[in-house]
Chain A
Amino acid sequence: MSDHEYTPKSKAGKWFNDRLPLLTLANHLTDYPTPKNLNYWWTFGGILTFCLITQIVTGLVLAMHYIAHADMAFESVEHIMRDVNYGWLIRYIHANGASMFFLAVYIHIFRSLFYGSYKSPREIIWIIGIIIYLLMMAAAFMGYVLPWGQMSFWGATVITNLFSAIPFVGEGVVTWLWGGYSVDNPTLTRFFTLHYLIPFLILGLVVLHIWALHVPGNNNPVGIDVKKPSKDTVPFHPYIVIKDGFALLMFMIVFAFFVFYAPNILGHADNYIEANPLVTPAHIVPEWYLLPFYAILRSVPDKLLGVVAMLSAILILAVLPWLDTSKIRSAVFRPLYKQFYWILVADVLILGYVGAMPAEGLYLLIARVATAYYFLHFLVILPVLGLKERTIPLPLSITEPVLGGSPNIAMAKKNESKIE
């Protein structure tokens, strides 16, 4: 992994390191050459690691006080809020932490889309990332079921019912998932078990994600390969550590605002009503971070095709490195792609908005158009654009744009204005 041989200075260190090269690993992580032109969009990897650890630690404490039983879950959450020392704080950090986690992961993913970080040679990093994202959604969904409120119960009913769309075996699969003939205690206990398991799977995948990253090294805003170590790179410590730390603190201020001053604003009021299988809420909506996919699901009139569309919307990301035919990574040098990128961002935000609205009338129409565009972007626009687009010449090294005044950049700017 490391580009140079490392020998610990102390004798004891050398003895240990010969048997288990942890010190070599630590040395690799501190010295890891990082492009020096990384901007703040690159700090979300560190922020996400923080989110994962926060969720695991707070979740561990919550699990000590929570009771996974249909008759006691809701009460045990109130017990945590009222009688456990700082239970309210831990629960609010965990509940809002999920939202913060998704906020960060969406920024992380869209950063990758803008700067083409998923392209060769980083396809494996990207695919592992998509698997992590899928697991995050599963963990978040099951976590939302645990308080056993109305939205927990009915959300679980709606989502698990999606599996009934599978031809022939659908009904059987749903009964198997529920552990009975409706969402009930067996469903709750297995969701709790899986909710506890998945974060550790994510943790393992994060290790692989970072490992895979450290093979080619970071992409950067210019998107060209960087010789490392060289004038273009800085060692991870202290340069990137302090920068990530600074960004993390900014992020924590936003996080703290939600936890302390608006802890319930991202949740749904109905989830403070205990689950009641006999009363269906007026609108069943998932948490905000799942809304775009919920909109895609509902925009297709057929149940099975709706499920297929929703799953495809996520899985299409996994093959993105091969759908995008452009060799140029960064959108900075792709004037047309840059515009389509922002249209996609708007499209996903619109999907999220209509996902929260009732699926009828104008909302449904908008959802259908936005869904169609989403697939159009990945299946048609990206492959064609890579072949047709006139890109701006790349600079020779990242030092040029960093220092400014390079002839390449001036040329790039001129070309850009011409194309626009």
Chain B
Amino acid sequence: MKNILKLFSVIILFSVSSVNVISAEKVEFLKTDWTFKGLFGKFDRASLQRGYQVYTEVCAACHSMKYLSYRNLSEKGGPEFSVAQAKAIAASFEVTDGPNADGEMFQRPGKLSDKFVMPYENVKAAEAANGGAYPPDMSVLVKARGGGVDYIYSLLQGYEEAPSGMILDDGVHYNKYMYGNKIKMSAPLSDGIIEYSDGTKASVEQMSKDVTTFLMWAAEPSLEARHQMGFKAIVYLIILTVLVYFSMKRIWSRVKSEV
């Protein structure tokens, strides 16, 4: 058994050290208590719904979310809008469909099965409208950035006066947490920029937290299912391991040897 423990600790140590090597981050990000972290982590439903509101009223003006569909908004483990609400949300967008029998494209209200409508026709159009910088697609943005949710949360609150001596070009802003500290996106949030439908006070901090939660869900829609299944799987494995351990002891007791 001592050997097993030794072996086990080597594996853990090795995994941990390799993890440290890879996720070496130097900037200290702002921290907040994310409900979706940890063994039983789940999304805060209300926060997700508010986050969607921030996304759609602020971010969606420039940032697409091309891998999500309106139906996702009513699915389990997400913001869990009712199906009627999700349908209404979808219908509030104009979708280009076609070609019809006459060979022409036409506009119709969105359906649950439609993907989120994109703010720009294509990448070039997005760049042209944003001073040459492409506002990245937000579907998997949280997973595509080193610090993950903490990074996004910090960045949204990281706008400051540029330190004296730093010269910023026109249309470039200073952000404490941005790589190189220069960002083309102007501070997107300000206190009271939107009015939450549930009456929560729309402070920059609150909105940052809500929209980041929403982005986390967008990137990992199956996070809750994963945590639930993971707990069951690991408990099952541990019980089985214990049973097998005692069977092994029993079987090996016939031999004069140590296991």
Contacts and interface: CB of A to CB of B under 8 A. Distances in A.
Interface of A: 36-37, 39-41, 75, 78-79, 81-82, 88-89, 92, 103, 107, 234, 238-239, 242-243, 245-247, 249-254, 256-266, 268-270, 272-273, 282, 285, 288, 291, 349, 352-353, 356, 402-403
Contacts of A250: 4, 7-8, 241
Contact of A254 (B11, B179, B227, B244): B11
A51 to B, nearest CB: 14
Contacts of A246: 241, 244-245, 248
Contacts of A107: 10-11
14 contacts: A82-B68, A88-B225, A88-B226, A242-B247, A243-B252, A245-B248, A246-B248, A250-B241, A269-B148, A272-B143, A272-B144, A288-B18, A402-B257, A402-B258
Interface stretch (B52-60, B81-89, B229-237): B229-237
A378 B166 CA distance: 53
Nearest to B248: A242
B218 to A, nearest CB: 10
A243 B246 CA distance: 11
Contacts of B12: 254
A238 B233 CA distance: 26
A78 B67 contact: yes
B47 to A, nearest CB: 21
A243 B241 contact: no
Interface stretch (B19-27, B100-108, B188-196): B19-27
Nearest to B136: A273
A40 B4 contact: yes
Given A242-B248, A261-B39, A249 B240 contact: yes
Interface of B: 3-4, 7-8, 10-12, 14-15, 17-19, 21-24, 39, 67-68, 72, 136, 139-140, 143-146, 148, 179, 219, 221-222, 225-227, 229-231, 233-234, 237-238, 240-241, 244-245, 247-248, 251-252, 255-259
Q: Tell me the dominant secondary structure on chain B's binding face.
A: helix
Nearest to B41: A261
A252 B229 contact: no
B238 A265 contact: no
A352 B234 contact: no
B21 A352 contact: yes
Given A40-B4, A269-B146, 6 more contacts: A40-B7, A88-B225, A103-B14, A239-B252, A249-B244, A266-B18
A246 B259 CA distance: 11
A92 B221 CA distance: 14
Nearest to A44: B7
Contacts of B252: 239, 242-243
B235 to A, nearest CB: 10
Contacts of B15: 103, 254, 258
Given A89-B226, A266-B22, A272-B144, A402 B237 contact: no
B234 A257 contact: yes
